[in-house]
Amino acid sequence: MAAPRKFRCAVLSAVKHDYVARGVASHPRFELVVVADDHDAPAWAHERNQQFADAHCIPYIRDVDRALREFDTQVVIVSPEAERHCGLSIRAARAGKHVIQDKPLATRREDANALVEEVERAGVRFLMWNRNFLPAVLHAREQITTGAIGKPYAIHADFYFAKDAGPTRGSRQLGYPPIHWEAHQIAAHIDGADGGLGREPMGELGVEGIYPLGYIRLLTGAEVRKVFARSTAFFHQAHADNGVEDLASVTLEMDGGLLGSIAIGRIGLASHPSGGEIKLHILGSAGALVISEARPEVGIYHKGQPPKEARQRRVANENDFLLADDFARAIDENRDTVLGARASCAIFATVAAALESCRTGDVVEVK
């Protein structure tokens, strides 16, 4: 039996989530060969990229186009600041590379549309990194596909990250300036508290909405048609100062009368002992499912335990491997990935409609 084809990967910026590139590299069919970024990227970005390259014993070059030309790569992994996501992904697709991209898909609708067009024109595969292959999500999918609960008619996702994001709301003293979003996110990277890295402030719906909406899409296959949403900067001064939400709820009305909702937030470290409550509630014509996304898990408690250490540890989590595996098979079989460009764009549109609903107070159609 012939050994499966291996893919050489260029990492186009690793400033936000280096776990995406590390996750891809955990699969034996993928090999990281170069890190690259544009020469005019900020100094802090070059520093992070260099650190990542050094850690993986691969070169870092400050020339994206050269990296795309000269390293015989088939795949790129894109994780810069959010507003550069689409630009780098589009350049990679134009160069005929398959693309794995960090969230969010884009910060503007026109960028998202351009990315979909370019990916489809170039005939390359695209994967938005996601959590759809977590064991509990796969279990939910299995229950649904085997008909355990009949035909789903409602689905609800809670997606709370129990993380802090700097000073609490209301803590800014008179005379002090508002928190600068990008500077705050850069500084917060050291302990993983950076939520939406980029020049433009982004709330939890825009940054993390891809995850619960990805679950709903995976489990129902339905398009969202209308939304009603509420949001607030409830916890963190950085969000309040920059006019973006850290807590939100969205009612979803989908194809075929399917109802749904998401509740999402970056709700503070103190709000959960193990990183946050993430749950799915699914109703079907013959039953219902209540799924805890964290399971299976093991409780670990000990003296001197750091406050930020999860008390419940996830186990049997093969999400990274399975995402990479799905991507490799999508290339092999010339099919779409578990969360391709068009599906990611639909999720982007749902988030955009939800944010509009938050602004207007009205029900908004997803376009």
**Residue closer to other proteins, measured from CB, 79 or 249:** 249
292 binds other proteins (CB under 8 A): yes
Nearest to 314 by CA among 365, 266, 359, 274: 274
**At which residue do the structure tokens 């939910």 appear?**
140
**Residue closer to other proteins, measured from CB, 183 or 363:** 363
363 binds other proteins (CB under 8 A): yes
209 binds other proteins (CB under 8 A): no
153 binds other proteins (CB under 8 A): yes
When binding is defined by CB under 8 A, the residue of 221, 263, 325, 346 that contacts other proteins is 263
Show contacts with other proteins in window 216-235 (CB under 8 A). Answer: 228, 230-235
- Distance of closest approach, residue 156 Cβ to other proteins, in angstroms: 6
The half-sphere exposure of 354 on its side-chain side, counting CA atoms within 13 A, is 32
Q: Residue 266: is it exposed, middle or buried by C-beta count within 10 angstroms (0-12/13-18/19+)?
A: buried
Nearest to 90 by CA among 116, 65, 115: 115
171 binds other proteins (CB under 8 A): no
When binding is defined by CB under 8 A, the residue of 96, 123, 178, 287 that contacts other proteins is 287
**Residue closer to other proteins, measured from CB, 72 or 362:** 362
Using alpha carbons only, what angle is made at residue 250 by residues 127 and 269, rounded to the nearest 5 degrees?
80
The C-alpha atoms of residue 21 and residue 45 are separated, in whole angstroms, by: 16
When binding is defined by CB under 8 A, the residue of 74, 259, 274, 313 that contacts other proteins is 259
145 binds other proteins (CB under 8 A): no
Of 103-111, 200-208, 330-338, 359-367, the window that binds other proteins (rule: CB under 8 A) is: 359-367
272 binds other proteins (CB under 8 A): yes
DSSP string, 88-141: HHHHHHHTT-EEEEPSPS-SSHHHHHHHHHHHHHHT--EEE--STTSHHHHHHH
Q: What token pair was written down for 30? A: 């993928």
Cβ(105)–Cβ(86) below 8 Å = yes
**At which residue do the structure tokens 């950076």 appear?**
194
List of residues contacting other proteins (CB under 8 A): 153-154, 156, 158, 160, 162, 228, 230-235, 247-249, 251, 253, 257, 259, 261, 263, 265, 267-268, 270-272, 277, 279, 281, 283, 285-288, 290, 292, 361-363
